[in-house]
A and B are shown apart, each in its own frame.
Chain A
């Protein structure tokens, strides 16, 4: 190799390898955290496929800079698993500090995998100054992620529940249960689809379907290997065999993810879509990307609910800055911004009764959004199955309907 290039490579390598500032971070000593964090650049690895979320993250970065002098870099992932891979690869390569990932937006199988392997820093969530206003009683998914106790290794920052979206102008009465959906698909071939597993939303639809076809969904809360997996999933595959020929493009191809599914609804290629963010449709309508006749609804049997967390890898180079970010995102002003239907429409994790009147007013001032359901219309939130279900049904789906066909 050209000596000049080699020299520059070696130099930049040694910069990367130079040990970051002292790593003894104590989240309980918040003054110390703030001191260390000042001037750091935090690399937040978060899914980058949604323009509105990207814009929101950028706005949080502005606040982080203005209030604490910390820079935020949004590393836009195609899949959250990419960040997990990176941390695992770094550990295998012996890079136990100065790691590239400072914060991950995470839940489900990725969180379970990192927590199990001891790849997460913590516990830290309960030590964040803003933890006091988080409503830990209202929603079980704040403390338990996909049946696994979070134990402070992730800080919740938004709650989600699956809602279905339809265009009320062309479909006055949408199917309100899985059985009705099955019949509706048979009557309306080519007008429904779901993102291709292992995409998060696509696999979540399979789990939602599992809830619909199982007599006793309680098995889903145990690891898939501990129960009769084949018997439990047999009705799911029967359901999919039934609907696949009548899916969009006859199930020969699937949209890649949530935005792609939403785009199909906007283009009028399908009549029913779904999303984990109950405010997505309203926000898309506000942006002129979705017709204003779109409305949302939930299944009578309930829909899946979960929370999103911020976690910090054990080898993160900028842990102090990461902690400040995790705290900032629980700030009532930021949470209200995320819940604003014109911004994201995310459900806040804060308890309004825990806020002072001034902060509560921020939330009271928010409109619901034209297509968003009121809290009392959201129905029952179904517990996320154990993470092993997600992995196994995604693999089996690939063998049955994906590459294996």
Chain B
């Protein structure tokens, strides 16, 4: 019985790992927002911080920016994802598109943002390609493209990363919604591809991707690194301004930052509620639309190419952007409007050699540690579930993905400072676990549950105990998804900016904090170097995750991908 109780505890322990830091961080933000933070000299409950925050002249614009860019990025990403799936699911192109977009998941947001910035800036590749032949520009045009006050560049930067994420989440959901047969029936009844999919499959798929969509919405509204690179500056988005207050020498501004974080949290919760409301309205309208019987055959003619174009545009922009990063990292003199540098060299790399080594090592170490812990916890939770200890609270796994980082990390950072826990690799690793665990769990859950339990039964019939079944049968058979989950976790850890910055206290640096510290310098050669490392590290682990099983199982017919 004792043994059983142990298993029942496993999901709760995992949830505690996730939820406690988030809740502690939120508490650490709400109290100072009302002036109470004895460690920072705030002993009385006051509204000063609120007065200062609400009195900041940029607040309305910053809030509006956060909402508009966040909602636009989410709506665009969702629409494009659904369109791609609806228009192309079941075709060979679809397989090709999903294979092409999947690696983008491993790409850190910051690297993608840098690549995009290099591409679309007035001195970027797009402008160079059409200058001076078409435009007549012999120097970069005085156009405000990156950091535009409407946040269009920021929205674009978010969309190119969120579409691959939502696409993979939708793919996972499709497996459980009998989509291909529904699609077949709809087509047999004369429905167009897109219309048929939207009418028969979407109502079943959306509830399953609802939480990922919420995560995208909350993330887009409160993102810091992408906004620092592509977002507006006068004022910036609210999240960036909170970080700015956090890092100013005047401690009074910490209270203001806390109040700002509460505003940010309220904003995200409010928009999430409105989104939920909008879901209801769309569903109500959708029910009538489904019933009206319109086949929408002609819509396919424009929507299918549109979806293909969207996917191509995203893949192309990211690929070109990343190529741009590589070229800049090896560029010496490169004047506008030359398409390629006049001279090349490795000086940009050699000048960074001293710090590249140790920082890359630290990044990998932290990512490895956090991911290993996340893997162990995820396997335990899933094994507990397999042994009949399912708990509904596991939905809380999304908490760290939905609670905006900028809303609870400042509070957590204050606690860490008071306790003297900040500035160590172990602390950064522990905090990364909070964000890595959900992704690892989500990546592992479906293949884990889809495993054919009869293999385990056979093993038990041959006398193996449950642990032995786990070690000798289930885990080896699941090598491939385990490695993929590891790669996802690794990539998540490498990409973390705010947790590393605030808990690392400047002493722990990763390739991501290093690359973003250079963002403001405009030094594209060095940004190129660090962004290339930042994207190469997770990509390498992904490649290993794909290659290793092929090597391990080269003599095992049954473990090949069919």
Contact = CB atoms under 8 A, between A and B. Distances in A.
Interface in A5-56: 5, 8-9, 12-13, 15-17, 43, 45, 48-51, 54-55
B427 interface: yes
A202 to B, nearest CB: 12
Contacts of A405: 234
Contact of B517 (A49, A81, A93, A248): A49
B507 A249 contact: no
Nearest to B506: A75
Nearest to B377: A2
B100 to A, nearest CB: 32
A9 B433 CA distance: 13
Interface stretch (B70-78, B201-209, B245-253, B441-449): B245-253
Nearest to B518: A49
B426 A12 contact: yes
B522 A81 contact: no
A257 B419 CA distance: 34
Contacts of B420: 13, 16-17, 95
Given A253-B144, A256-B522, A264-B522, A9 B421 contact: yes
Contacts of B427: 9, 12
A404 interface: yes
Contact of B523 (A196, A248, A259): A259
B293 interface: no
Interface in A41-90: 43, 45, 48-51, 54-55, 58, 73, 75-79, 81-86, 88-90
B251 A12 contact: no
B13 interface: yes
Given A267-B336, A268-B140, A289 B518 contact: no
A174 B508 CA distance: 45
Interface in B15-52: 16-17, 20-21, 39-41
A190 interface: yes
A79 B421 contact: no
A92 B39 contact: yes
Interface in A239-294: 248-250, 252-257, 259-264, 267-269, 287-289, 291
B430 A9 contact: yes
A253 B417 contact: no
B391 interface: no
Contacts of B143: 249
Interface string B514-547: 1001101111111000000000000000000000
A136 interface: no
Nearest to A391: B250
A218 interface: no
Nearest to B419: A13
Contact of A100 (B16, B39, B148, B505): B505
Interface string B222-257: 000000000011110000010000011101001000
Interface stretch (B57-65, B191-199, B476-484): B57-65
Contact of B424 (A16, A43, A75, A404): A16
Q: Is the interface of B mostly helix, strand, loop or mixed?
A: loop
A85 to B, nearest CB: 5
Contacts of B335: 267-268, 291
A402 interface: yes
Interface stretch (B156-164, B347-355, B393-401, B490-498): B347-355
Contacts of A138: none
B247 A79 contact: yes
B27 to A, nearest CB: 15
B525 A85 contact: no
A256 B520 CA distance: 5
A183 interface: no
Contacts of B514: 76
B142 interface: yes
Contacts of B142: 189-190, 248-250, 269
A117 B386 CA distance: 60
B283 interface: no
Contacts of A90: 417
A1 interface: yes
B506 A45 contact: yes
Nearest to A267: B123
B521 A256 contact: yes
A399 interface: yes
A264 B523 CA distance: 10
Interface residues of B, number: 71
Contacts of A100: 423, 505-507
A263 B424 contact: no
B361 interface: no
Given A9-B427, A252-B144, A288 B332 contact: yes
A285 B7 CA distance: 65
B58 A404 contact: yes
A86 B522 contact: no
A126 interface: no
B96 interface: no
A82 B247 contact: yes
B147 interface: yes
Interface in B283-333: 332-333
A1 B336 contact: no
A403 interface: yes
Contact of A402 (B140, B234, B426): B234
A113 interface: yes
Contacts of A95: 420
Nearest to A73: B507
A92 B57 contact: no
B417 to A, nearest CB: 6
B63 to A, nearest CB: 12
A185 to B, nearest CB: 13
A399 B58 CA distance: 8
A275 to B, nearest CB: 13
Interface of B: 13, 16-17, 20-21, 39-41, 56-58, 61-62, 122-123, 139-140, 142-144, 147-149, 232-235, 241, 247-249, 251, 254, 332-333, 335-336, 343, 345, 347, 351-352, 354-355, 373, 377, 417-421, 423-424, 426-427, 430, 433, 505-507, 509, 514, 517-518, 520-526
8 contacts: A16-B423, A49-B520, A75-B506, A82-B506, A249-B143, A254-B234, A267-B123, A268-B336
Interface of A: 1-2, 5, 8-9, 12-13, 15-17, 43, 45, 48-51, 54-55, 58, 73, 75-79, 81-86, 88-90, 92-95, 100, 110, 113, 189-190, 196, 248-250, 252-257, 259-264, 267-269, 287-289, 291, 399, 401-405
Given A15-B424, A287-B347, A399-B57, 11 more contacts: A1-B16, A13-B421, A17-B420, A49-B517, A81-B248, A85-B247, A86-B505, A88-B249, A89-B254, A263-B522, A268-B123
Q: What 4 A-B pairs have minimum CB-CB distances, sorted nearest first? A: A403-B58, A260-B522, A403-B235, A256-B520
